[in-house]
């Protein structure tokens, strides 16, 4: 039986530098201590399945940034930045950084790779 997701690799999402989930089944149970990344894995999968839905990105960023309270207001830059694992640019300015989230999958899913970049440069 072909799995929708057989393997999934998440890079640069929240606290994950890189995590590889392999040999996934039809039903997968994710267990771990509090604040170990279980919800982040589920949110990364949700974004991977609907990468062109900006509302999904904003809801996930706001939910996590504001501890569960989803705001109907326009999301601010701080909440969007929180999705990405911060990587400093080779710059003297502390406010400049470049971030990239990369999610790749093997399976019958129509999406095989998602790369998202954010580049913030101070004024």
Span 8-52, pLDDT tens digits: 999 988 888 899 999 998 889 999 999 899 999 999 999 999 898
Predicted local confidence at residue 44, as pLDDT: 92
Every domain of the chain and the residues it spans: 7-120
pTM equals 0.74
DSSP secondary structure letter of residue 23:
S
pLDDT for res 123: 59
pLDDT of residue 91: 53
| pLDDT tens digit sequence for 77-116 | 677 777 776 555 555 555 555 688 999 999 888 899 999 9
> Please, which contacts does 49-58 make with residues 24 or more away whose CB atoms are closer than 8 Å?
49/109, 49/111, 51/111, 51/114, 51/116, 57/83
d(CA 52, CA 38): 23
- Helix runs in the chain, H state only: 38-49, 54-65, 77-81
């Amino acid at each position: 039986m072909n799995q929708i997701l057989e393997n999934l690799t998440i890079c640069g999402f929240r606290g994950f530098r890189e995590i590889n989930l392999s040999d996934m089944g039809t039903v997968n149970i994710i267990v771990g201590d509090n604040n170990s990344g279980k919800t982040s894995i589920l949110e990364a999968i949700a974004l991977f399945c609907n990468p062109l839905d900006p509302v999904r990105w904003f809801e996930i960023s706001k939910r996590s940034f504001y501890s569960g309270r989803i705001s109907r207001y326009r999301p601010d830059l701080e909440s969007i930045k929180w999705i990405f694992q911060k990587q400093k640019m080779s710059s003297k300015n502390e406010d400049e950084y470049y971030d990239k989230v990369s999610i790749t999958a093997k399976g019958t899913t129509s999406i095989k790779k998602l790369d998202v970049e954010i580049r913030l440069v101070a004024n």
